[in-house]
Each structure stands twice: as structure tokens, then as C-alpha cells.
């Protein structure tokens, strides 16, 4: 019997409690014979909870209890979450986390700390919510050199794009709608400015390439400047706008990571991903392109991934955890502005000498949309010098 403590009783933590105990309607009881929920750490009093007998307010109780084998960290952030994770691992307890900021920032050190203490640190839920992606990438694709990661990793941003296109409403209004129905936080910066996508890309890349990619090494552009006119030009070219996290392995061994909105063809499986869904495309040298698709967030999907890791830790299927990743290699990081792409350009006036011209109904007088030839951002900036540019978005090749 494995005994579990959950740190934090927010959306994810309460979902984990439900899935672990079968208290949620229709949720599997597969874990029941194996796993018992003993503690929930939360600063609040929650007397009406069906788990009322489990609540504690002092992490030292959990830390000192030799019966606790697995600690689930759903606090978020890099404050208390980091402190408690370190203390749990040092006490020889395995830790399962949904905390992408913590993993992206300190994952390498925490994986090492786990190994030193004969424990595991698992975080399937930190990327793609309930979509199985880290374990398949780590284990099922182990025979491949990974050539590229390319993913729609933030459901909020994707939902906003879908509402803009399907309802014809501008960014700010789509964001308000997303906030109204709970798909976006009241402070939406991490979602719409790309930082959430950046953190998930770092976790995927660290597993794929074997060394810790850090968030500050990933140039990150969000979606706040995307207009309905941009969406109309995308449609006119048979494409949709998607916020992508990409990391491309180069022949020289370097990796080019970045987060940016892209024009994506509707022929590409990523182009058809709508609403809050996530999709992660991984290219391996043997397997080619594979894609993983599903809801990237939400209480029960995320809890599903957390509990799978708890079961894995409990069954000791993963004594070595994910394939280890090494220290950060700054010399391996290629700046995204050196990556050639075609570009979507919207000009207030005039024309471009090369590229494909796009036409939409109802544009401003004199304006035009273009898809350029492949070039670097520097070359594009030179081409656009002295032009009045309304929008620039990278086109996914």
C-alpha cells in the first residue's frame, strides 16, 4: 500500500483527490487497491470536504511521516512548491508535479535530487494536461533522435483564436469571453504573452534533447497583437493563426527554440486544432512525425495525468524516472532570428517585390497582405525597412 500526500487543494489538487479515491462521479477505481490518500496540505479550513479528515497545515507533518511514499505537488510557482519538493525528495519520497514553472526552471536539479535519494520526480501533467506526452517521448521514442518539437501548448490562446475566427470578434473581446467562462485567468499574462507555452516547450525540449533548456533562452512572443485582419489574411491563404512553441534540432547539434504565433496550413494536422485543445507534433529521425492531441488543461484531465504518475511511482515501473537530462548547454541554443521561414506581412501601403499577394474583402484602403519567400528575420527586417508594416507573423513550413 502506497500512501500519498497532496500539496495544495486548488483545481488540480482537488481533482487528484477525486480521481485517486474514486470520489468523483464515474472515475476509475483502478488505483484504489494500491494507493491511499493520507494528507492534503492547505492553508485554508475546508470542513465540508469529503476529505476533511486528511487536511494538515504544516508540511513538516508530511515530511516526518515515514508512511508517505509519494507527494503530489499542485501548489504552483517556485516558492513553497520548490521548498516542499526539495524536502520531500531529501526525505526519500517520490514527488509527482503538475507545476510547469517549477519543472522548467529547476527540473534538472530536482531530477538529480530524486535520483540521489532513490526516489522519482515525475511531471506528466505539467505539459498537455491529460495528454500522454512526456512518457511517450521519453520511452516510446527512445530509439529516435528528436529533430523537432512543434506544439499548440496553451489552450487559452488557442481558444481565443478560435473565437476570433468563428465569432468574428477582436482579441480583447475574445479574451474577456475566455475569462468569463473560466478558460483564462483574471491575470492572463502567462497565457497570452506566451510564458506558459515557453515553460512547456522547455520541459519537452529537455526530455527530447537531453539537456536542460531554460525559459530565458527561449525568445517568446505572445498573441496580444493579432488582429481580425490578420486572421482574414490567414484564411485567404488557406491557413489559421496558432501560437506555437517550437524547438528545432540543427545538423550541427544546436537547437533553435522559440515561441511565436504562426500561420499554419489547414493541411497540417496542427492547423485544424481548435478551442482549448492542445496538440504536440514530434519529429523523430526513425518514426517521422507523430502527434499527440487532447484537452491541455482542466481539473480531471490534469488529475488523470497526475494519478498515472502516482500509479507509476507506486508500481515502481519507473525506478529511473524519465530519461535523465543533463545541465543546460547555452552553446547549443540557436537564436530564432537565424531561422529561415516564409513570413506573413501586412502592409499599410505599397507592395513587396517578391512573395505571394493575399486578398481579403474589407481591408483598409491601400493595405495588402503577403506571404514572403523563406528568409531570416534579419533579412525580412531589411526588406521591410522604411515600409509601414501592420503585422508580421511567421509561416509554419
The contact pattern for its own copies, residues 37-76, with x = CB under 8 A and - = no contact, is: ----------------------------------------
- Stretch (H or E) spanning 109: helix 100-116
CB 89 within 8 A of CB 121: yes
Beta carbons of 263 and 395 less than 8 angstroms apart: yes
When asked if residue 315 is in the footprint of its own copies (CB under 8 A), the reply is yes
Reduce the DSSP state of residue 58 to 3 states and report it.
coil
How many C-beta atoms lie closer than 10 Å to residue 347's C-beta?
18
Q: Which residues contact residue 38 at a Cβ distance below 8 angstroms, ignoring those fewer than 6 apart?
A: 3, 4, 5, 54, 65, 67, 68
Catalytic choice (200, 281, 283, 332): 200
Q: Which stretch binds its own copies (CB under 8 A): 183-191, 285-293, 335-343, 375-383?
A: 285-293
Selected from 13, 76, 107, 130, the binder of its own copies by CB under 8 A is 130
Q: Out of 172, 216, 285, 381, which residue is the one contacting its own copies (CB under 8 A)? A: 285
Tell the smallest beta-carbon distance from residue 130 to its own copies (Å).
Answer: 3
Give the closest residue to 216 by CA, choosing from 126, 77, 83, 330.
330
Instruction: Give the alpha-carbon dihedral of 256, 261, 263, 267, to 10 degrees.
Output: 80
Beta bridge partners of 394: 262, 343
Longest Cα separation, the chain = 72
Does 286 bind its own copies (CB under 8 A)? Our answer is yes
Is 357 an active-site residue?
A: no
Residues 174 and 152: their CA atoms lie apart, in Å, by: 18
CA dist., res. 226 & res. 145, Å (int) = 35
* 205 scored as a contact of its own copies (CB under 8 A): no
Closest to its own copies by CB, 61 vs 142, is 142
Is residue 115 at the binding interface for its own copies, with CB under 8 A as the rule?
no
Residue 269 sits in the site that holds its own copies (CB under 8 A): yes
Of the candidate spans 80-88, 212-220, 316-324, 360-368, the one that interacts with its own copies by CB under 8 A turns out to be 316-324
Cα(114)–Cα(103) distance, integer angstroms: 13
- Is there binding between residue 11 and its own copies (CB under 8 A)? no
* Residue 180 in contact with its own copies, rule: CB under 8 A: no
d(CA 189, CA 193): 5
Binding-site size for its own copies (CB under 8 A) equals 54
**Dist. CA 354–CA 215, nearest whole Å:** 35
Pick the piece of the chain touching its own copies (CB under 8 A) from 96-104, 185-193, 318-326, 387-395: 318-326
**Of residues 292, 373, 384, 389, which one binds its own copies by CB under 8 A?**
292
Return the residues of window 21-40 that contact its own copies according to CB under 8 A.
Answer: 24, 26-28, 30-31
Among 245, 284, 355, 369, binds its own copies (CB under 8 A): 284
In the complex, minimum distance from the CB of residue 388 to its own copies, in angstroms, rounded to a whole number: 38
Q: Which residue matches cell numbers 525580412?
A: 380
d(CA 169, CA 376): 32
The CA distance from 255 to 334, in Å, is 6
Task: Give Cβ neighbours of residue 200 (< 8 Å, ≥ 6 apart).
Answer: 100, 104, 126, 127, 128, 151, 153, 154, 245
Per-residue binding string, its own copies, 295-314, x by CB under 8 A, is x--x-xx-xxx-xx--xx--
Cα 272 off chain centre by: 18
132 binds its own copies (CB under 8 A): yes
Q: Is 272 in the site for its own copies (CB under 8 A)?
A: yes
Piece of the chain touching its own copies by CB under 8 A; list 78-86, 140-148, 169-177, 364-372: 140-148
Shortest distance, position 291 Cβ to its own copies, whole Å: 4
Give the contact letters, 319-338, x = binds to its own copies (CB under 8 A), - = no. xx------------------
* Cell numbers representing residue 73 in the block: 505537488
* Smallest gap from residue 267 Cβ to its own copies (A): 8
What residues are labeled active site?
200
Which residues contact its own copies (rule: CB under 8 A)?
19-20, 24, 26-28, 30-31, 124, 129-132, 135-137, 139-145, 269, 272-273, 284-295, 298, 300-301, 303-305, 307-308, 311-312, 315-320
Amino acid at each position: 500500500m502506497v500512501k500519498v500526500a497532496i500539496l495544495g487543494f486548488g483545481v488540480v489538487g482537488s481533482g487528484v483527490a477525486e480521481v485517486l479515491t474514486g470520489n468523483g462521479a464515474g472515475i476509475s477505481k483502478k488505483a484504489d487497491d494500491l494507493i491511499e490518500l493520507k494528507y492534503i496540505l492547505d492553508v485554508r479550513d475546508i470542513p465540508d470536504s469529503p476529505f476533511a479528515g486528511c487536511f494538515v497545515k504544516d508540511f513538516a507533518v508530511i515530511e516526518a511521516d515515514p508512511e508517505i511514499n509519494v507527494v503530489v505537488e499542485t501548489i504552483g510557482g517556485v516558492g513553497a512548491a520548490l521548498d516542499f519538493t526539495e524536502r520531500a525528495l531529501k526525505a526519500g519520497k517520490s514527488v509527482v508535479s503538475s507545476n510547469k514553472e517549477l519543472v522548467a526552471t529547476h527540473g534538472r536539479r530536482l531530477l538529480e535530487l530524486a535520483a540521489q535519494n532513490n526516489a522519482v520526480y515525475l511531471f506528466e501533467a505539467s505539459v498537455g494536461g491529460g495528454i500522454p506526452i512526456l512518457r511517450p517521448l521519453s520511452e516510446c521514442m527512445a530509439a529516435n533522435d528528436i529533430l523537432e518539437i512543434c506544439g499548440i501548448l496553451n489552450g487559452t490562446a488557442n481558444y481565443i483564436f478560435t473565437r476570433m475566427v468563428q465569432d468574428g470578434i477582436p482579441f480583447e473581446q475574445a479574451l474577456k469571453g475566455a475569462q468569463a467562462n473560466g478558460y483564462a485567468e483574471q491575470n492572463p499574462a502567462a497565457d497570452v504573452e506566451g510564458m506558459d507555452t515557453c515553460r512547456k516547450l522547455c520541459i519537452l525540449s529537455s526530455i527530447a534533447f537531453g539537456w536542460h533548456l531554460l525559459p530565458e533562452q527561449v525568445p517568446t512572443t505572445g498573441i496580444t497583437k493579432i488582429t481580425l485582419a490578420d486572421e482574414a489574411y490567414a484564411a485567404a491563404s488557406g491557413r489559421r493563426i496558432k501560437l506555437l512553441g517550437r524547438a528545432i534540432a540543427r545538423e550541427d547539434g544546436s537547437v533553435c527554440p522559440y515561441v511565436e504565433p504562426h500561420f499554419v496550413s489547414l493541411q497540417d494536422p496542427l492547423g485544424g486544432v481548435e478551442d482549448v485543445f492542445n496538440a504536440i507534433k514530434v519529429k523523430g529521425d526513425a518514426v517521422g512525425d507523430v502527434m499527440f492531441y487532447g484537452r491541455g488543461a482542466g481539473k480531471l484531465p490534469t488529475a488523470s495525468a497526475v494519478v498515472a504518475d502516482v500509479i507509476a511511482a507506486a508500481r515502481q515501473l519507473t525506478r529511473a524516472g524519465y530519461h535523465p537530462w543533463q545541465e543546460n548547454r547555452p552553446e547549443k541554443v540557436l537564436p530564432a532570428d537565424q531561422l529561415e521561414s516564409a513570413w506573413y506581412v501586412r502592409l499599410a501601403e505599397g507592395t513587396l517585390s517578391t512573395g505571394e499577394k493575399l486578398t481579403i474583402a474589407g481591408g483598409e484602403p491601400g493595405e495588402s497582405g503577403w506571404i514572403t519567400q523563406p528568409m531570416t528575420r534579419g533579412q525580412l527586417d531589411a526588406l521591410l525597412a522604411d515600409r509601414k508594416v501592420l503585422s508580421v507573423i511567421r509561416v509554419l513550413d
